[in-house]
């Protein structure tokens, strides 16, 4: 289909972009989710404000205690980043498995979490990494803890007129020892089920664990029961098997033509175990 008509504006900076949005403007990142939505007429903004040439939010910088990934960083730039590969390998693993090369070259991490598709990879990975989302609006800047960011089905803490400028990933023990595993939809490679796991081991036992799922229900979530069950124990295959029960408990599990509710529930536990076993 053909989108409804809109005005196109090219922003030179984030402040520029915020100023250009007006009452019915929408940010255009890599366009990999928004353009299909426009073609289906699910969205019909009056103005599209393109931030894909705002260099200030495209980089990845290694700071003393964290790594800042620009909101406009493409999946491809994350997939090939050596600093992230060493500080938080699950980000690089997830980026390498997103879509195809065209999607990875155009799509951005900021666009993905703003869109909050329930089958997207970044939400689970960023929940497991204890990230902070850096946001700019007309009044200034704010930071949202990732645990407060995803609110529901395509729903986030992002408000009208806001731009995600970056995502801060702590250089923590658990991020250094992290992995992502997903069962992909064979054509799009979206997660039918995906699990991100990050475990800090001290003195032979798990000191801290963060485990998050995507693809399962209305939005990504942490599995705190598994996190708690792992703490204080050695990370062994037997302890992982014992810690991972039904990781969908309390969730409305999605059912579609790729996976029924029953099959997805089964896959969720299988992939939680696979992500954790990658860390052995
Ligand atoms: C064929 C195909 C396969 C795909 N496979 C996968 C996959 O395997 N895994 C996966 O996770 N995803 C997948 N995707 C989605 C892809 O990752 C998109 O890149 C991503 O969801 C959106 O990022 P974008 O930069 O393209 O955002 P856009 O499409 O430009 O925008 C999406 C939404 O985010 C908003 N937005 C964009 N950037 C910002 C920002 N910086 N601040 C605030 N709001 C912003 C826009 O206004 C819009 O509402 C696939 C897409 C396609 C087309």
What's the gap between Cα 79 and its chain centre?
13
Instruction: Kindly list the protein residues whose Cβ atom lies closer than 6 A to any atom of ligand 1.
Output: 26-34, 51, 71-72, 98-99, 103, 106-108, 110-112, 114-115, 117, 120-122, 163-164, 188-190
The pTM assigned to this predicted structure is: 0.98
Q: How far is CA 146 from CA 101, 125, 131, 158, 217, in A?
A: 27, 10, 5, 11, 17
CA of 71 to the centre of ligand 1 (A): 11
Ordered structural domains, the chain, with CATH: 7-48 (no CATH), 58-170 (3.30.465.10), 173-277 (3.30.390.50)
**Which positions ≥6 away from 133 have C-beta within 8 Å?**
113, 126, 143, 144, 146, 149, 157, 164, 166, 167
280 residues of the chain, pLDDT tens digit each:
789 999 999 999 999 999 999 999 999 999 999 999 999 999 899 999 999 999 999 999 999 999 999 999 999 999 999 999 999 999 999 999 999 999 999 999 999 999 999 999 999 999 999 999 999 999 999 999 999 999 999 999 999 999 999 999 999 999 999 999 999 999 999 999 999 999 999 999 999 999 999 999 999 999 999 999 999 999 999 999 999 999 999 999 999 999 999 999 999 999 999 999 999 9
Mean pLDDT of the chain: 97
| Radius of gyration of the chain measured on its C-alpha atoms | 19
Task: Please write the tens of the pLDDT for every residue from 7-38.
Answer: 999 999 999 999 999 999 999 999 999 999 99
Residues 205-247 have pLDDT tens digits of 999 999 999 999 999 999 999 999 999 999 999 999 999 999 9
The pick from 112, 142, 220 for probing ligand 1's pocket by mutation, whose C-beta has the most ligand atoms within 8 angstroms, reads: 112
Per DSSP, the three-state class of 269 is helix
Question: How many Å apart are CA 36 and CA 106, to the nearest integer?
Answer: 14
């Amino acid at each position: 289909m053909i989108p409804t008509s809109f005005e196109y504006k090219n922003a030179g900076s984030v402040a520029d972009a915020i100023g250009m949005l007006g009452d019915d403007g929408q940010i255009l990142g890599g366009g990999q989710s928004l353009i299909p939505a426009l073609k289906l007429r699910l969205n019909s903004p009056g103005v599209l404000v393109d931030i894909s040439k705002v260099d200030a939010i495209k980089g990845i910088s290694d700071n003393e205690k964290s790594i800042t990934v620009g909101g406009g960083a493409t999946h491809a730039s994350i997939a090939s980043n050596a600093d992230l590969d060493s500080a938080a390998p699950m980000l690089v693993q997830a980026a390498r498995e997103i879509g195809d090369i065209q999607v990875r070259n155009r799509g951005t991490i900021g666009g993905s979490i703003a869109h909050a598709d329930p089958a997207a990879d970044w939400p689970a990975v960023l929940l497991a990494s204890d990230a902070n989302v850096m946001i700019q609006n007309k009044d200034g800047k704010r930071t949202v803890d990732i645990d407060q960011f995803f609110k529901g089905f395509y729903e986030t803490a992002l408000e009208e007129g806001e731009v995600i400028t970056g995502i801060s990933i702590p250089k923590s023990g658990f991020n250094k020892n992290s992995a992502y595993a997903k069962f992909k939809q064979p054509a799009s490679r979206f997660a039918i089920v995906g699990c991100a796991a990050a475990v800090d081991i001290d003195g032979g036992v798990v000191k801290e664990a963060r485990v998050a799922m995507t693809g399962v229900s209305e939005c990504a979530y942490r599995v705190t029961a598994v996190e708690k069950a792992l703490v204080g124990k050695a990370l062994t295959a037997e302890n992982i098997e014992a810690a991972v029960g039904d990781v969908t408990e309390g969730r409305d599990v999605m059912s579609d033509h790729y996976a029924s509710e029953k099959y997805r529930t089964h896959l969720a536990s299988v992939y939680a175990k696979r992500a954790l076993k990658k860390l052995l």
